[in-house]
With several copies, the nearest count.
Chain A
């Protein structure tokens, strides 16, 4: 059924359709609409789940971990400072290989405090062993949550995952969303069942001390499992298409008018929409622009990127996060992936600065002169 709803609402519906059982939650702008909607479902009796009104995000992520360890599907959402406060527990969850799913309504980091959208929260945690999707539309946000559960819980993966949506710029947008039926979702998403959990009939120990003789192997295994995920992401994307009649590129990346493009924009999340518009307008003027939308930054889809950008002459990367004293992080990774290409960096939209068609056009011009810049 297609309805105009808020992206946050679409996500809440995805969580409901996934039959989530435990939802630890802590309020933070602009994530809050998601959990508010879930609280409504629960208090109205339309979702049979428990909400845990934790006293901090640190406890939200910890309670999420506890819920998973007790063998139920769980969910939480946060933003910015909340994600930052969870930091320590993120790698504890990934190190323990728990298939957590969390939505991040991306927002800038303090100081100064700023409640608007950029990607510094998501990028700040990119080494912590979580997979990370970025969704462009409300519908993709809903779909991504469903796919995220399936992916994270796949035996060969078992890695937690964050679904990123742009705070406000996507989270608070109403637009048409095709909401799948419960039956369809049930046919896609298996019942939750962990191999290892806290079971009085089969007592196991979780979170031991790993000495230097073992620790590094666990870390290599985490990395390998995440690399395995690339294949699984593609499979799930195909299966999703079969069942739900829609899909997203090859699952990892999505190409737009890229075949003959000379200059390719690379970006993440909701600004991809504006980028498409810019590509169209540039093409009207005879400029061969294209767009590579990255759906995942972890696993970093290096093969898909190389394939997609194989023929591109110039690449303009748009970063909405920054590594002070170094460079924009997407730019760095892209250069490292394509050591032989001209790549230019554009830092845009930090702290909710609007990203417009003009930004893409300007970047297009600068890129043709091999110039980088912060675009305001």
Chain B
């Protein structure tokens, strides 16, 4: 069975990079995986999407993602702006960056919210959330933090990889305990 993930972000925030890192992590985890951006002409600031597929069997499918099993939201304001709800399967899980302690969806959706920005600011020194939020996603145990680490180091220059991984780990630990 192929599973699908949508990542929501803004132009310049690195949502596409998140999708690539995740695809690499799934691969290290023994999955077949596929990642691709929403092919738009969006400029810095505009809402963008990126997608990941993973599966135990080779993935042939290449259509867009229409209904996802998971969503990752880099900025809670996008939930409305990008109409995140519409792209979710029933019972999908959503991972949200938000400082607010509120519910964004009805109860057919599982949501986990963390203030990724603050943690990233603290650890990375910049409000880079696209990689650190993957620590939140890793709480699903679909990918291990070790696979994530390898993927992050493959994708980013070492100094950045280190900081981003640390932030992801902090977030992961915060939730998993």
- Consider the complex of A and B and state whether they touch directly, i.e. have CB atoms less than 8 Å apart: yes
Q: Which residues of A contact B (CB under 8 A)?
A: 3-4, 6, 30, 115-117, 168-170, 172-176, 209, 270-271, 273-274, 276-277, 352, 354-357
Tell me if B104 counts as interface (CB < 8 A to partner A): no
Q: Across the interface, which residues of A come within 8 angstroms of B19, CB to CB?
A: 174
In this complex, which of B32, B61, B66, B154 has the most chain A Cβ atoms within 10 angstroms of its Cβ?
B61
Q: Which of A117, A175, A357 contacts B63 (CB 8 A)?
A: A357
Tell me if B59 counts as interface (CB < 8 A to partner A): yes
Tell me if B11 counts as interface (CB < 8 A to partner A): no
- Assess whether B61 is in contact with A274, with CB atoms less than 8 Å apart: yes
CA of A355 to CA of B33, assembled, Å = 20
CA of A357 to CA of B60, assembled, Å = 11
- Assess whether A274 is in contact with B32, with CB atoms less than 8 Å apart: no
8 contacts between A and B (CB under 8 A): A6-B20, A30-B39, A169-B36, A169-B39, A174-B33, A175-B59, A209-B41, A273-B59
Knowing that A169-B62, A355-B62 are A-B contacts, what are 7 other residue pairs whose CB atoms are under 8 Å apart, sorted by A's residue number? A3-B24, A168-B39, A170-B62, A172-B36, A174-B20, A175-B34, A356-B63
Interface set, chain B 15-35, CB cutoff 8 A to A: 19-20, 23-24, 27, 32-35
Q: Which of A4, A209, A356 contacts B27 (CB 8 A)?
A: A4
- Assess whether A274 is in contact with B59, with CB atoms less than 8 Å apart: no
- Assess whether B63 is in contact with A173, with CB atoms less than 8 Å apart: no
Given known A4-B24, A175-B23, contact A270–B36 (CB-CB < 8 A): no
Given known A115-B41, A209-B41, A352-B39, contact A174–B23 (CB-CB < 8 A): yes
Leading 5 A-B pairs by shortest Cβ distance: A273-B60, A168-B39, A356-B63, A174-B35, A4-B27
Q: Which of A115, A174, A209 contacts B34 (CB 8 A)?
A: A174
Tell me if B103 counts as interface (CB < 8 A to partner A): no
Closest chain A CB from B6 CB (angstroms): 15
CB-nearest residue of chain A to B52: A174
- Assess whether B63 is in contact with A274, with CB atoms less than 8 Å apart: yes
- Assess whether B32 is in contact with A176, with CB atoms less than 8 Å apart: yes
Given known A174-B23, A356-B63, contact A4–B41 (CB-CB < 8 A): no
Q: Total A-B residue pairs with C-beta atoms closer than 8 Å?
A: 70
CB-nearest residue of chain A to B61: A277
Given known A4-B23, A4-B27, A6-B20, contact A172–B37 (CB-CB < 8 A): yes
Given known A4-B24, A4-B27, A115-B41, contact A176–B33 (CB-CB < 8 A): yes
Interface set, chain B 131-175, CB cutoff 8 A to A: 154
Tell me if B107 counts as interface (CB < 8 A to partner A): no
Chain B binding surface SS class: mixed
Q: Which of A117, A168, A175 contacts B33 (CB 8 A)?
A: A175
- Assess whether B60 is in contact with A354, with CB atoms less than 8 Å apart: no
Q: Which of A30, A209, A357 contacts B61 (CB 8 A)?
A: A357
User: B interface, how many residues as a size bin?
Assistant: 20 to 34
Closest chain B CB from A163 CB (angstroms): 18
- Assess whether A174 is in contact with B39, with CB atoms less than 8 Å apart: no
Closest chain B CB from A357 CB (angstroms): 7
Closest chain A CB from B131 CB (angstroms): 15
Q: Which of B20, B36, B62, B154 contacts A274 (CB 8 A)?
A: B62
Q: Across the interface, which residues of A come within 8 angstroms of B36, CB to CB?
A: 168-169, 172-174
CA of A3 to CA of B66, assembled, Å = 27
Tell me if B64 counts as interface (CB < 8 A to partner A): yes
Q: Across the interface, which residues of B come within 8 angstroms of A271, CB to CB?
A: 62
In this complex, which of B19, B32, B36, B64 has the most chain A Cβ atoms within 10 angstroms of its Cβ?
B36
- Assess whether A355 is in contact with B63, with CB atoms less than 8 Å apart: yes
Closest chain B CB from A179 CB (angstroms): 13
Closest chain A CB from B97 CB (angstroms): 23
CA of A174 to CA of B19, assembled, Å = 9
CB-nearest residue of chain B to A173: B36
- Assess whether B39 is in contact with A172, with CB atoms less than 8 Å apart: yes
Closest chain A CB from B152 CB (angstroms): 13
- Assess whether B24 is in contact with A354, with CB atoms less than 8 Å apart: no
- Assess whether A277 is in contact with B60, with CB atoms less than 8 Å apart: yes
Q: Which of B24, B60, B62, B64 contacts A174 (CB 8 A)?
A: B24
CA of A248 to CA of B59, assembled, Å = 17
CA of A172 to CA of B51, assembled, Å = 11
Q: Across the interface, which residues of B come within 8 angstroms of A174, CB to CB?
A: 19-20, 23-24, 33-36
Closest chain B CB from A98 CB (angstroms): 25
- Assess whether A116 is in contact with B60, with CB atoms less than 8 Å apart: no
Q: Across the interface, which residues of B come within 8 angstroms of A169, CB to CB?
A: 36, 39, 62
- Assess whether B61 is in contact with A173, with CB atoms less than 8 Å apart: no
- Assess whether A273 is in contact with B61, with CB atoms less than 8 Å apart: yes
Q: Across the interface, which residues of A come within 8 angstroms of B61, CB to CB?
A: 273-274, 277, 357
In this complex, which of B27, B35, B60, B61 has the most chain A Cβ atoms within 10 angstroms of its Cβ?
B60
CA of A117 to CA of B59, assembled, Å = 20
CA of A174 to CA of B60, assembled, Å = 13
Closest chain B CB from A169 CB (angstroms): 6
Contact bitstring B31-62, A, C-beta under 8 A = 1, else 0: 01111110101000000000000000001111
CA of A355 to CA of B62, assembled, Å = 8
Q: Across the interface, which residues of B come within 8 angstroms of A274, CB to CB?
A: 60-63
